[in-house]
Structure 1
Amino acid sequence: MTSLLEVSELRVAYPRRGFRARPREVLHGVSLTIGAGETLGVVGESGSGKTTIGRAVLGLVRPDGGRILFQGRDVTHASAKERRALARTRQVVFQDPYSSLSPSLTIGDILCEPLLVQGLPAREARAHVRALLDMVRLPKDALERLPREFSGGERQRVAIARALAPEPKLIVCDEPVSALDVSTQARVLDLFIDIQRRTGVAYLFISHDLAVIRHVSHRVSVVYGGDIVETGPADVVTSTPEDPYTRRLLLAAPVADPTEQRRRRELRRHLAEQVSTPP
């Protein structure tokens, strides 16, 4: 598989408030790769650093160490001009479909905007947008409607279409279904898979939910305290993990049987003793 993204020993620190306060390092040397047309799931609890990985890949935070290669090109410290040029090839789908779309623009305007910025004629842009609506399974009349007229799942489909508009090679999906109900989640996840089969786009898929990651990913990296503690095929990592922290994540999933739930709770307590506190 051709390598699309290579992240090596990535370190990121955020400043703290206060005089002489030392920056807080949130990534301590993270390394990962994504092949063309592949989905790498990145899973971890809140504050683990998984979203920071996505932001660094998109150029939204400046790394304090390490290297990011995209299509063989070093983009670790890309300038603002270089980041704008790279935006066509790297897109993002955010967590909240309610706040990620401009409430005052029609769906047609939202989807056409990135194409017009690239210099595509208006007629061609509208034709491309109609094809995108078909791809995300929204009706043609959506073009003239406002985001508030759609459900959460439909708004997230619009956000996916917007990310697809410039025909990127990689989409960073940052908790893209966590704001949706369970049945809608499954339909949107199936849509991600179908789009990947049709377009060959790669995903860096970020989530706190192992079940979601298992559904969409080819490989999985588990993040804990700013470090990747386990990486492997999705079916292996999400069923027979080796690291104690990953096993804790697996046991955190609720089950209907109260006896089994109690057993899992006891196992999680035991595993918690084996997991070191993150720095």
Structure 2
Amino acid sequence: MTAPLLDVRDLVVEYPRSGARRRPFRVLDGVSLDVRPGETVGLVGESGSGKSTLGRAVLGLAPVTSGTIRYDGRDISRLGRSARRALAAEIQVVFQDPYSSLNPSLTIGETLEEPLRVQRVDPAEARSRVATLLDQVQLPADAVHRLPREFSGGQRQRVAIARALALSPRLVVCDEPVSALDLSTQARVLELFREIQERTGVAYLFISHDLGVVRHLSHRVAVMYHGDLVETGDGDKVTSAPDHPYTQRLLLAAPVADPVRQARRREERQRVAASQK
């Protein structure tokens, strides 16, 4: 079996509370998770479950209280700023809001060239790379001269994806990257993620509250509840016939177009919730 590209072991993340005698708030409680090269692992849970905190810890944006995060065999749990900046060439992120994650005063070309300039890429090579990126995410070449406000939400998210791919990373943390988009745009962006992975071999840690979203993309799925992983396994299995009652509730909460099926789901969700009390 291929060695993990990302290997999280017994990860604990705590935040202090006000008051000298109050115990810190534990967001992640001994979480273990791995992502292999070229694989998508979906991390699913409701708001407050800790799933985004795990992604932030991988990116160095959340403090690691204990446990380890290893990338390609190297412990990155507590890297300094310069070492973390160097690692940005291999680990990137796509956030939820495609507008707030882009500088509104920079053109798309300037936005995409920025990470390349930080890595001291030759200007001519950077411009060529930007043209390639726009083609990969199916945006017109003249987008380099336009501002983010001139694009739709789905197009702005494509720009965010292009920026994440600028340095040819091996791992991208996707934190609710389609939740702000309408359903038809979601489908197109998810297909874009899949096409890019097939072409480049990039791995994704794909964070979402929606089992229906991760079903289309994930090889494996991990379900988080109150800072713990309660179920992990094959993507098709976990998203269609889960074993854990919490995952069953998440599945039943996903909307369907048929009103009769939706009513049955609502009744079943209430039954599962009542059985857990």
Same fold (TM over 0.5): yes
Query: Residue 65 of structure 2 aligns to which amino acid in structure 1?
Result: D
State the partner residue of 2:181. Answer: 180
State the partner residue of 2:209. Answer: 208
Query: Residue 272 of structure 1 aligns to which amino acid in structure 2?
Result: A
* Paired residues, number: 276
Partner deviation per Cα, 1:52-73 (whole Å, 9 max, x = no partner): 0100111111211111110000
State the partner residue of 2:51. Answer: 50
Equivalent-residue separation in structure 1 for 2:22 and 2:255 (angstroms): 40
SS of the residue aligned with 1:223? strand
Equivalent-residue separation in structure 2 for 1:203 and 1:69 (angstroms): 15
Query: Residue 134 of structure 1 aligns to which amino acid in structure 2?
Result: D
Partner deviation per Cα, 1:195-225 (whole Å, 9 max, x = no partner): 0011110000000011100011110000001
State the partner residue of 2:68. Answer: 67
Equivalent-residue separation in structure 2 for 1:110 and 1:51 (angstroms): 24
Gaps of 5+ in 2: none
* Superposition deviation, residue 261 in structure 1: 3.0
State the partner residue of 1:16. Answer: 17
State the partner residue of 1:3. Answer: 4
Quickly say closer, same or farther: Cα 1:266–1:60, change in 2 above 3 A: same
Give runs of aligned pairs for residues 1-279 of structure 1, distance below 5 A.
Answer: 1-275=2-276
SS of the residue aligned with 1:22? coil
Quickly say closer, same or farther: Cα 1:20–1:256, change in 2 above 3 A: same
Partner deviation per Cα, 1:122-180 (whole Å, 9 max, x = no partner): 11100001000000000000001111110000000000000000111100000000000
TM-score by length of 1: 0.96
Gaps of 5+ in 1: none
After superposition, the CA RMSD in angstroms is: 1.3
**Higher mean C-alpha deviation, range 76-85 or range 224-233:** 76-85
Equivalent-residue separation in structure 1 for 2:212 and 2:260 (angstroms): 21
Partner deviation per Cα, 1:89-119 (whole Å, 9 max, x = no partner): 1100000011010010111100001101111
Partner deviation per Cα, 1:5-64 (whole Å, 9 max, x = no partner): 100010101222344332110101110110000000000000000000100111111211
Equivalent-residue separation in structure 2 for 1:240 and 1:60 (angstroms): 34
Equivalent-residue separation in structure 2 for 1:260 and 1:204 (angstroms): 31
* Superposition deviation, residue 258 in structure 1: 4.0
Equivalent-residue separation in structure 1 for 2:257 and 2:82 (angstroms): 53
